[in-house]
Amino acid sequence: MSDVPDLSSDEENFEEDDWQEMETSNTMVRCLFCSEVLSTVELALKHCESVHNFNLNSLKVKFNMDCYSYIKLINYIKTHNPKSEELMNSSKPLWDDEKYMKPVDNEVDEWLMFDFDSLIDNPSSPKTYHANVENGLVTLSQAHFIELQRTIQALTEQLNESNTHLQLAKEDINKMQESMKALVDGGQTSNNGNGDNHIINCVSKVPLEDDEGYFNTYAHFGIHYDMLSDKVRTESYRDAILKNKDTIQDKVVLDLGCGTGILSMFCATAGAKRVYALDQSEVIYHAMDIIRENNLHHVIKTIKGRLENTNLEEKVDIIVSEWMGYFLLFEGMLDSVIYAREHCLKPGGLLLPNKCNISLVASGDVDTHKKLIEYWSDVYGYKMNCMKSEVVREASVDIVGSKHIISEACVVKEIDINTCNTDIMDFTSQFRLPITRDGSLTSLVGYFDTFFDLPHSVSFSTGPETTPTHWKQTVFYFKDCKSVKQGDVIEGTIICSRQKTDARALSVQINVFGKNHKYILS
C-alpha cells in the first residue's frame, strides 16, 4: 500500500452508510502547536487562532493555497514543529516541496481529512462582545478588546484587498481593450506590466492564466490512454531510452510535459541518476502516485508547473519530451523544448528526440470528399454550397488509408531540435509531388517523422503508409476535385505560420493550380 494519500476522486466507491460512519466517529484532534486536544478540526483551528495567532484562512489567501498545498503545510508543521509566527510572517510558502505530500503519521490524520476548500476567503463571522457598565461608561475586557482589534484589522485588510482587486480589474479591462485593438490591427499582444505591448510570437510570452486551457486538456484520462496505447509512439520512446542505457546511465534528465510519467520511468529504469518530471496539468498528481507505486520516487522528482515559470535546482544532461502535435507543430510545445534547451540543458547536452521532418503527399479519396464536401450540394433537397468553403477551411485530422495515396511524398520542412528557434512555426517551402496513378486529387495530406539519433538509432513515422498513430494525418481538402494521371507532377508552395490570435495554433496556405487555399489548425 502506498504511504501517500490518494488524491484522486473516487466518490462512487463510498456508500451512504460509509459517510454516516465517518461523520459520527469519535475522533480527537491535537493542536498543531501544543498538546491541547479538541474534538474537531474546526475547533482546533479556532484554538490555533486564539491561542497561537495561527490563521489558516489568512495563509490560504496570502499564498493562493489549494488542497494539495494544505496537505504539504500540515506535513511540514508535523515534520519541523515551527512556531506559528514563522508561518504567518513568512514571505513564501515554506512547505512548497513535493516531499511534504508524504504523511508524517501512519494512522489516519484528521488534519489531512479536513475539507480545506470549505474555507471561505473572508474574515470570521461577526462575534458578540460582553461589556461592563460602570458609572455610565461602557468598558470591554482586555481579551475582548484584543479580539475586537483583530476583527477591525481583518476587515481593514479585506477592504484594502477589495480596493486592490478593483484596481486590478480596471487594469485587466485596459489590457483587454489594448489587446482587442491590437487584434483588430492584425496581431496578438501582451502587456509586460510597464505599459509596453509586444507581439506574442512564442508560448513563453503567453501569460500562464491565459494558457491554462491548453494544460487542462491534458488533465483527463482519455487523452493519456490514447497516447500510452499508441504503440508506435510509446515503444519508440521506450526503445530509444532502454536500448541506449549507456547514454542515460548516471545522467540528470528533464522529462518535459511528463503526463503520467511513463518516459520518466523509462529513464529511471535505464539508470538515470535523477529525473525531473514536470507538468503543469493536474495529471501530475496521478504521476506522483504512479511513480511511488512503482517504487521510483527515490530517482524521479515530480514538479507541477509550466517550465517557463519554473526554476529547476540544477542543469540537466538530457531533455526528453513527447512534444509533437498534429502536423508536428500544432500546440506549439516545441517552444517549451527550445526554452528548456536554452535555460536548463548543460552545454553539449542531449535532446530526445533530436530531429523531425514534415511531409506532404497527394490523396484521391473521392468517397470521403463526397461525404464531407459534396454533401452540402444537396441537403434534403436544399443547396448549401456556401458551407463548402467553411468545411474546407478547417484542416481535418483523420487516418488516410494507404490505398488512397496517389503520389510520391515530399519533405517540406526538416527540423534540427538542437539548433532551431521559435520562428520554426513560420516557414515557406516548395513541394513537388509526382503522381503515381490515375485518379481524382481530393486533398494533400501532411504528416511527420521523428528521429532519435543515438548509438542505437530509433525513428518512427506518422505517414499514411505506416501503422496509424494517435496523431493520424492532417488533411487539407480542396473544394473541387482535380483529375490527374500517372506521370503528372503537382507543384506548389506551402506557407505555414503561427496564428496571430493563438500562439499554439497554425495557419496553413497551399498555393497550387493557380489558387491560394487557406486552412486553419486550431
Q: What is the CATH number of the domain that holds 227?
A: 3.40.50.150
pLDDT score of 233: 93
Buried b / exposed e over 300-334, threshold 16 CB at 10 Å, is bbbbbebbbeeebeeebbbbbbbbbbbbbbbbbbb
223 and 97 housed in the same domain: no
Position 264 confidence tier, pLDDT thresholds 50, 70, 90: very high
179 and 236 housed in the same domain: no
What is the pLDDT averaged over residues 406-412?
97
What is the pLDDT averaged over residues 235-252?
97
* pLDDT at residue 208 is higher than 80: no
Residue 39, C-beta contacts closer than 8 angstroms, at least 6 positions apart? 27, 28, 29
Q: How far apart are CA 419 and CA 423, in angstroms?
A: 12
Q: How far apart are CA 94 and CA 96, in angstroms?
A: 6
pLDDT score of 418: 96
Domain of residue 437, CATH code: 2.70.160.11
- CA 370, chain centre distance (Å): 38
Element (H, E) at 390: helix 386-393
Q: What is the DSSP string of 461-493?
A: E-STTS---TT-EEEEEEEEEEEE-TT-EEEEE
pLDDT score of 187: 45
267 and 362 housed in the same domain: no
* pLDDT at residue 347 is higher than 70: yes
Closest CA to 72 of 342, 288, 223: 288
* pLDDT at residue 15 is higher than 50: no
Position 345 confidence tier, pLDDT thresholds 50, 70, 90: very high
- Judge whether 322 counts as a catalytic residue: yes
State the average pLDDT for the chain. 82
373 and 254 housed in the same domain: no
The owner of cell 505506416 is 466
pLDDT score of 301: 96
174 and 244 housed in the same domain: no
Is 21 within a domain? no
What is the pLDDT averaged over residues 82-108?
85
Name the domain count of the chain: 4
Residue 31, C-beta contacts closer than 8 angstroms, at least 6 positions apart? 37, 38, 44, 47, 48, 51, 52
Closest CA to 482 of 456, 517, 430: 517
pLDDT score of 176: 62
What pLDDT, in 10s, does the model give residues 419-461? 999 898 899 999 999 999 999 999 999 999 999 999 999 999 9
Closest CA to 149 of 175, 123, 167: 123
- Candidate ranges 5-19, 55-69, 101-115; pick with highest mean pLDDT: 55-69
Closest CA to 4 of 339, 288, 275, 321: 288
pLDDT score of 5: 41
Q: Tell me the three cell numbers of residue 65.
A: 493555497
pLDDT score of 506: 86
Higher pLDDT pick, 11 / 34? 34
346 and 410 housed in the same domain: no
Q: Which SS3 state, helix, strand or coil, does residue 304 take? A: strand
Q: Which of 352, 384, 407 is the last residue of a domain?
A: 352
Domain residues for the domain of 84 are 26-118
Higher pLDDT pick, 253 / 102? 253
pLDDT score of 309: 87
pLDDT score of 9: 40
* Residue 198: strand pairing partners: 190
Is 128 within a domain? no
Q: How far apart are CA 390 and CA 295, in angstroms?
A: 52
What is the pLDDT averaged over residues 39-52?
91
Q: How far apart are CA 204 and CA 437, in angstroms?
A: 46
The owner of cell 542543469 is 315
430 and 457 housed in the same domain: yes
231 and 321 housed in the same domain: yes
468 and 435 housed in the same domain: yes
CA angle centred on 469, ends 290 and 296, rounded to 5°? 15
Closest CA to 227 of 283, 183, 151: 283
111 and 185 housed in the same domain: no
317 and 347 housed in the same domain: yes
pLDDT score of 138: 45
Q: How far apart are CA 459 and CA 384, in angstroms?
A: 45
What is the pLDDT averaged over residues 330-341?
88
- Candidate ranges 256-260, 317-321, 381-385, 502-506; pick with highest mean pLDDT: 317-321
Choice among 235, 331, 394, 465 that is catalytic? 331
Higher pLDDT pick, 158 / 378? 378
Is 413 within a domain? yes
Q: Tell me the three cell numbers of residue 134.
A: 460602570
Is 396 within a domain? yes
**Bridge pairing between strands 252-256 and 197-199:** unpaired
Choice among 322, 342, 414, 491 that is catalytic? 322
383 and 473 housed in the same domain: yes
Is 20 within a domain? no
Query: 230 and 256 in contact (C-beta within 8 Å)?
Result: no
Is 500 within a domain? yes
Is 163 within a domain? yes
Residue 159, C-beta contacts closer than 8 angstroms, at least 6 positions apart? none
Higher pLDDT pick, 519 / 141? 519
Q: How far apart are CA 46 and CA 119, in angstroms?
A: 13
pLDDT score of 360: 97
Is 286 within a domain? yes
Question: In this structure, what is the dihedral angle of CA atoms 47, 49, 50, 52, given to the nearest 10 degrees?
Answer: 90
Q: Tell me the three cell numbers of residue 117.
A: 476548500
Residue 430, φ and ψ in degrees, nearest 5: -85, 150
- Please name the amino acid found at residue 218: Y
From residue 297, give the alpha-carbon distance in Å to each of 76, 85, 103, 290, 490: 19, 33, 15, 9, 54
pLDDT score of 206: 60
